[in-house]
Chain A
Amino acid sequence: MPQSSRAGSGTRAAIFAPLDGAGRAELVLQRLTDAIVLGVLHDGERLPSEAELARQLGVATVTAREALEILRRNNLVHTKRGRDGGSFVTFAGGGSTDLQDDRLLAWSRVQVRDLGVHYCAIAGLAAELAGDRASAADITNLERILDRTDAGIAEAARRGQGTFRLEVAALSQSARLVREELRLQAEFGALLWLSLREPLRRERCRAVQRETVAALVAEDGARARQLTVEQIMESVEWLIEAKSLLEKSPLEQKGSSAMPGTTSTPVPTGASA
């Protein structure tokens, strides 16, 4: 049954989508940590029960339990007993910068670039197909989503970007592209759009979204693809710049974020295509 989307709801579904491959406990932990640290799961939000989590992710209950235990130790969730009990996210977004920095440091440049390339392949082609396949009603819907997005704060802008990308992917009419978009957003989306911490980046993101809609209206799929790929690669370059600043920053600076735009360091200008 088709359902209109609210920001982030599709990504949230993907967070709890089945995991495959080895090292599952690690993957469960990594996915949930990213989702909490990067704000996809809210402070105070109740997580599914161990059994439910295990069922949704397609892992053993003991694996889910293990992951939840580590999340508890890392003070990202707390568990309440009793009738209204369960595991709740305890992470307050305000103090998140340190943990976000840690996540970024954990990725190598090669990994960040490679994920960017993978995401470009998916989101770029989706945008190109959307240029051919978006109907007038689809365009109206996209514009409504843009109007509804509050680009004032980083968190809302990031969710808005996720929703926008997902809607564009859906316009491609390709179930595979949509599934891949969701998977990549769950794995990488929140990290990729860390640059939206900066007001200027948020404005730029919004401008690109509007330009993309204009390209779709003009049935110019090539332009929509170009805008998408450039936006992703710009964000990747920002991340790598931010990462290298973090790596250079002396230990005593830890606690005050060394991310570009939050220090006196000039903001990276990003990739020029």
Chain B
Amino acid sequence: MTIAPGHTTPPTDASVASVTDASVASVADVFDPVFSRLERWVDLVESYAARSGTIADRAQFDFLVEKLVRAEFDDSNGCVIGAGFVSAPHFLGWHLAWWLGGRNAASQGQPATGIRHLETVEDPLEESFRDYTALEWWRVPAQTGRRHITGPYVDYLCTDEYTLTLTLPVYRDGSELIGVVGIDLSVDEIERDLVPRLNAGAVAATVINASGRVVVSADAHLATGALLRLPGLTELLSDRTLSITALGPDGAHSFQWCGRTGLAVVAGPLPS
């Protein structure tokens, strides 16, 4: 089949809607397994926190998290950049039980040779201390109590990688937030995984985050990291209660949130 600009049949509303549905399912196929593993970590961490009473031991805790993280790096194919648990300040103090894979900008293409602990400044009085509770990957799951995907962004203080961060909140006794568990994924690996699943001919699906930033797109000319500019999109993204699903010129595009991940899919006719 030859596809030349201007010679394709315009997609029907039904085909746009079905591509949107299929793409939301594809996003779930890629991210749900990661969240399932994170949920298992949440369970383990929560049961540990319940056992340890009010005083949790940092070293014991790190030992537990490192074991979980190590298995994650062993299983996944270089997709995971970093993973771990970040403590609420009142639980273990300011503390990141976070590990980085052997894969980074300096060792690209090589198998992960080991993992290393991320050293951070944990004293709030130090100049380079950072209050991580103000950051999106902490703030959003802490507020909503749900899974969240942050990014894509260049993680310039940690690995210099182009990254997506998946986080889940962790509670003690079902109500007291004691931290978040998370995994950093490489955007190029996500692209490799997700783009083939989005391909659908005349209708192009684009996965965006809650700021309207492109995560990946079936439209080869839409760059990851660019902001998707469509009339009506900003309003849709700022108010989750809106049930509108059509947007763009002539309402030819279709919009759908990917569950409560913070990602959404926009599908529409490929620009000719």
Contact = CB atoms under 8 A, between A and B. Distances in A.
Given A4-B132, A173-B162, A175-B162, A135 B156 contact: no
Q: Is the interface of B mostly helix, strand, loop or mixed?
A: mixed
Contacts of A179: 105, 156, 160
Interface stretch (A10-18, A61-69, A96-104, A256-264): A10-18
B106 interface: yes
B157 A13 contact: yes
Contacts of B170: none
A4 B131 CA distance: 8
Given A6-B129, A135-B211, A170 B153 contact: yes
B158 A4 contact: no
Given A1-B165, A4-B132, A137-B211, A178 B82 contact: no
Interface string A1-45: 111111111101100001000000000000000000000000000
A12 B172 CA distance: 37
A1 B96 contact: yes
Contacts of A236: none
Contact of B134 (A4, A10, A178, A182): A4
Interface residues of B, number: 41
B156 A182 contact: yes
A3 B132 contact: yes
A1 B182 contact: yes
B226 A132 contact: yes
Given A12-B128, A13-B157, A175-B161, A1 B86 contact: yes
A182 B158 CA distance: 12
A33 B137 CA distance: 37
B176 interface: no
Interface residues of A, number: 27
Contacts of B118: 1
A84 to B, nearest CB: 16
A135 B227 contact: yes
Contacts of A133: 213, 225-227
B127 interface: yes
A5 B213 CA distance: 21
A158 to B, nearest CB: 14
- A2, A6, A12, A132: which has the most chain B beta carbons within 10 Å? A2
A75 interface: no
A166 to B, nearest CB: 7
A2 B138 CA distance: 10
Nearest to A42: B127
Interface string A89-124: 000000000000000000000000000000000000
Nearest to B105: A179
A249 interface: no
B189 interface: no
B224 interface: yes
B207 to A, nearest CB: 15
Nearest to B98: A1
A149 to B, nearest CB: 14
A164 to B, nearest CB: 13
B132 A173 contact: no
A4 B137 CA distance: 11
Contact of B154 (A4, A18, A132, A174): A174
Interface in B124-145: 127-132, 134-137
Interface in B154-208: 154-158, 160-163, 165, 182, 184
A178 B157 contact: no
B136 A2 contact: yes
Top 7 A-B pairs ranked by shortest CB distance?
Answer: A173-B225, A135-B211, A9-B128, A178-B154, A175-B162, A3-B157, A178-B156
21 contacts: A1-B155, A1-B182, A2-B135, A3-B120, A3-B132, A3-B158, A4-B134, A4-B135, A5-B157, A6-B129, A8-B128, A10-B156, A132-B226, A133-B213, A135-B213, A137-B211, A169-B156, A173-B154, A173-B225, A174-B225, A175-B161
Interface of A: 1-10, 12-13, 18, 132-133, 135-137, 166, 169-170, 173-175, 178-179, 182
Given A9-B157, A10-B156, 11 more contacts: A1-B82, A1-B158, A2-B137, A3-B130, A5-B157, A6-B130, A132-B226, A135-B211, A166-B156, A173-B154, A175-B160
